[in-house]
Chain A
Amino acid sequence: MFPTFSKYLNKSTSAAPLAVFRVFFGLMMLVSIIRFMLNGWVYKLYIEPKFFFSYYGFEWVQPLGDYTYLIFIICGIASLFVALGYKYRLAIIVFFLSFTYIELMDKTTYLNHYYFISCVGFLMVFLPANAFFSLDAYKNPSKAFLRIPRWTVDSIKFLLGLVYIHAGLAKLNSDWLFKAMPLKIWLPSKYDLPILGDLLQQEWIHYAFSWSGATYDLIIPFLLLYKPTRWFAFALVVIFHVLTRVLFPIGMFPFIMIVSALIFFDAGVHHRILGFISRIFRINYSKVISMANEKSFRFKRNFTLPIVAIFFAVQLLLPWRYLLYPNELFWTEEGFRFSWRVMLMEKAGYAQFTIKNTETEEQFVVDNDDFLTSFQEKQMSFQPDFILEYAHYLGNHFKKQGHENVSVFVESYVALNGRLSQPFIDPKVDLLKKNESFCRKDWILPFNDEIKGL
């Protein structure tokens, strides 16, 4: 086992695939950041709200008022440097930190694909993505290499595979497979698509999409790995992600996944891509190749592999942490995030908070509009950790206003995957007495239904 493994670690491969990945990843990120800013989302999501929902343990990560734009600009510049391969190590570290900081500012905006980008960014800190076709290599030919350790390219493939497989496994549940939920809710509302609109009203289509979506996620990594099916698999990747782009508001993610899937192709394809880019920018590609060392890039420091190994160990375990919680995952969302559970449920809620004086029994209801944006209110109303954090925020707010003996109660209803809404949080529990932790949230009311499966 170990001899084979260390032999594997010593194997080298062409540096071109990772170089292509770096160029496209950097460009995609640059476009994403620009799009985000042009849509006015920096103001809308990070400056306009009065209050931000923090991840447990990251309460210190807050937007910086108007300087928040600066973080985005830094992140955009870092993306460009990554694409160019200029001062790569510094650029990718800055990218990872700034991007992750943005995501940690408010968990209202949590998206699996943002998390995916943070993961890729982290991994790329440790990969020699600038060994080839980069400004770093151009300026210092001694740092230019035609070959790099094979595991570095494979690690990207492995991460992509993990994302797909976990997303596929998460779909193996009774709602998805046997009720075609939540697609049965989402697809009919796309009635106005040209061609597809009427078809999306058909029940069999909802099932076909559910089943083929799960199948796709589970097998696509293998079809991409296996050479004879690779082009076919890539065609599927394109169709699948373009379709999701058409059907759902998921922004840049489909394009990022399509471009990422290129990493599975052989070096020849990547050389052609780089040659094509070179022609556009009038770069002498054969000179780029001849400048580079024939030898493989070697890591100077030996902490790289252990860190990458720990990273993947965490990646393998994190999606399964939900097993430690006894209740229905979709209902309590304990262990839901950071697990590649994408497009799995349609959940909506309503939460009305009451501030009560425990001595005098005087009470009044809070108007959520006074504190939250409509987007924040929507996200808060069906996620228990949001409800708890908001309750504490309200408690502190009214204590500061001079209210005494403050307790906070919530009357809340949640509808999950087309089920009729039902009471969500125990209305008799003073939420100020409960604190966020990784422990089970016993103040969430039972789900009263069962979703079978993983």
Chain B
Amino acid sequence: MKYLKLSTIVFSLALILASCSNSSDNPESADDNFDRGAMLANWADNIIIPAYTSFNAKAADLKTKTSEFSTNPTVEKLQELRNTWESAYVSFQHVSMFEIGKAEELRFRNRVNIYPTDTAQIEGFISTGEYNLDLPSTIDAQGFPALDYMINGLATNDYEIISFYTSHTNAEGYKNYVNTLASTISSLSAEVLTSWTAGYRDVFVSNTASSASGAVDKFTNAYIFYYEKSLRAGKIGIPAGVYSNGVLPEKVEAFYKEDISKKLLLESITATHNFFNGKKFDGNTNGPSFKTYLDYLNTIKNGENLSALIDGQFTVAHNKANELNPNFVEQIATDNTKMLQTFDELQRNVVLMKVDMVQALNISINYVDADGD
């Protein structure tokens, strides 16, 4: 009985210590705790807002170039527009993963990059002149993929494409539609950026709660969702036929442009990789992010060096993707196994992030009672 009493004394001591610790706690010195607020601030100030700012300028440029092209549809203007479209599309790979706040509310990614685009719906909209791109039913008739069709896919050569905007009986309809597409991307982007700069940044950074509604949990879920569904499955898995009987080359990103699907993939791998490391959007220094958070937790846990594994796997996947043909349609036709190998390398990080990282960070996916069994 003495032994039992001793244990209870030890136990109650632990509890008393636990409940009295606030007297010695100084909220300023958070040395013994990872500062989630600083991580969120690094994400918002050094990555998310700069990335949106950069994308927003490109989207505005795209709107201007589209308007210039439509008032003066020449081969040169078309080429200029294509270059701007490509540069904005590449820039979009850096913001697509941030589906939180205004972007989540607008379903930004769905409005800007659903592919394959629905050409029949687009042609229908152009011929009737009646469309409302705010409707969820129109997501496969807008964004970069729809623009891709409008500037690369209407015909096989540039002169024929231009004829849609000059000599076509409904040239006005084509001009209007291409302008609406570009200005919609631009206004959506402006709306998201404004929300971040006009208040959401502070909401995000101060929401350090450790629950399913906390910014870290929500953002981590959004980030992994993007990596798993949009990057791994969307850019590689679906066209390579992982989810179907047979390959689906018509589902590659930038299908009509043909030669930039690899460029977009590499850019998005780099963007997610940099984000993992907390690398500043326009700089080379790293701030607090998943990597430092995992490293901090590992000082407690003394387990495998998870952050190094994930970091390394991003590089492996990037290198594997770099072996691909710039045009995924060709790659799928000539040697689809390379696509599948890239998928496998990307997949390894899905496991490391969705299982190991989420476990280490103890991210909740849902608000529901659970006792861990």
Contacts and interface: CB of A to CB of B under 8 A. Distances in A.
Nearest to B27: A198
B369 A199 contact: no
Q: Which of B241, B366, B370, B373 has the most CB of A within 10 A?
A: B373
Contact of A196 (B21, B244, B373): B21
Q: Which of A185, A250, A337, A344 has the most CB of B within 10 A?
A: A185
Interface string A329-345: 00000001100011111
B209 interface: yes
Interface string A21-62: 000000000000000000101001100000000000000000
Interface of B: 4, 7-8, 10-12, 14-15, 18-19, 21-22, 25, 30, 32-34, 36, 208-210, 214, 233, 237, 241-246, 297, 300-301, 303-304, 306, 309, 347, 350-352, 354-356, 358-362, 364-373
A239 interface: yes
A199 B356 CA distance: 24
Contact of A346 (B25, B32, B359): B359
Interface residues of A, number: 76
A344 B372 contact: yes
Given A185-B360, A201-B300, A249-B370, A375 B365 contact: yes
Interface stretch (A258-266, A271-279, A418-426): A418-426
B25 A189 contact: no
A212 B362 contact: no
B365 A232 contact: no
B353 to A, nearest CB: 10
A342 B369 CA distance: 13
Contact of A112 (B7, B18, B306, B373): B373
Contacts of B352: 421
Contact of A345 (B237, B355, B373): B373
B369 to A, nearest CB: 4
A236 to B, nearest CB: 7
28 contacts: A110-B373, A111-B370, A182-B372, A185-B362, A188-B300, A189-B210, A189-B361, A192-B209, A195-B19, A198-B33, A201-B32, A206-B300, A219-B8, A236-B12, A239-B12, A248-B371, A249-B369, A253-B371, A342-B371, A344-B372, A348-B355, A362-B246, A413-B351, A413-B355, A418-B303, A419-B304, A421-B352, A421-B355
B359 A348 contact: yes
A322 interface: no
A367 interface: yes
A203 B367 CA distance: 27
B356 A195 contact: no
Nearest to B298: A418
Given A113-B371, A415-B359, A215 B351 contact: no
B14 A208 contact: yes
Contact of B301 (A196, A418, A421): A418
B4 A346 contact: no
- Pairs A-B, 9 closest by C-beta atoms: A189-B362, A212-B11, A251-B369, A208-B14, A195-B22, A215-B7, A348-B359, A420-B304, A421-B355
Given A248-B372, A249-B370, A205 B18 contact: yes
A178 interface: no
Contacts of A249: 364, 367-370
Contacts of A231: none
A374 B217 CA distance: 14
Contacts of A74: none
B350 A350 contact: yes
Contacts, number: 175
Contacts of A208: 14
A158 interface: no
Contacts of B22: 194-195
Contacts of B7: 212, 215, 219
A268 interface: no
A346 B15 CA distance: 24
Q: Which of B18, B306, B309, B360 has the most CB of A within 10 A?
A: B18
A419 B208 CA distance: 27
A44 B212 CA distance: 16
B44 to A, nearest CB: 18
A212 B355 contact: no
A198 B32 contact: yes
Given A190-B210, A198-B33, A419-B303, 4 more contacts: A189-B362, A192-B214, A215-B11, A418-B359
B135 to A, nearest CB: 23
A345 B372 contact: yes
B11 A41 contact: no
Nearest to B363: A189
Contact of A341 (B309, B364, B373): B373
Given A185-B360, A191-B33, A196 B355 contact: no
B101 to A, nearest CB: 20
Nearest to A205: B18
A223 B25 CA distance: 34
A420 B358 CA distance: 12
B356 A203 contact: no
Contacts of A109: 368
Nearest to A109: B368
A262 B33 CA distance: 39
Contacts of A357: 245
Given A198-B32, A414-B355, A420 B303 contact: yes
A202 interface: yes
A243 interface: yes
A365 interface: yes
Contacts of B245: 357, 362-364
Contacts of A343: 371-373
A365 B237 contact: yes
Interface string A225-260: 000000010001001000100001111010000000
Nearest to B26: A198
Contacts of A202: 32
Contacts of A243: 15, 18
A216 interface: yes
Interface string A411-439: 00111001111000000000000000000
Contacts of B351: 350, 413, 421
Contacts of B15: 212, 239, 243
A197 to B, nearest CB: 7
Nearest to A199: B21
A342 B371 CA distance: 6
B369 A250 contact: yes
A120 B297 CA distance: 40
Contact of A374 (B4, B214, B366, B370): B366
Contacts of A203: 300
Nearest to B359: A348
Contacts of B210: 189-192
Given A192-B208, A223-B8, A418 B360 contact: yes
Contacts of B373: 110-112, 336-337, 341-345
B371 A250 contact: yes
Nearest to B3: A219
A181 to B, nearest CB: 8
A239 to B, nearest CB: 6
Interface string A70-82: 0000000000000
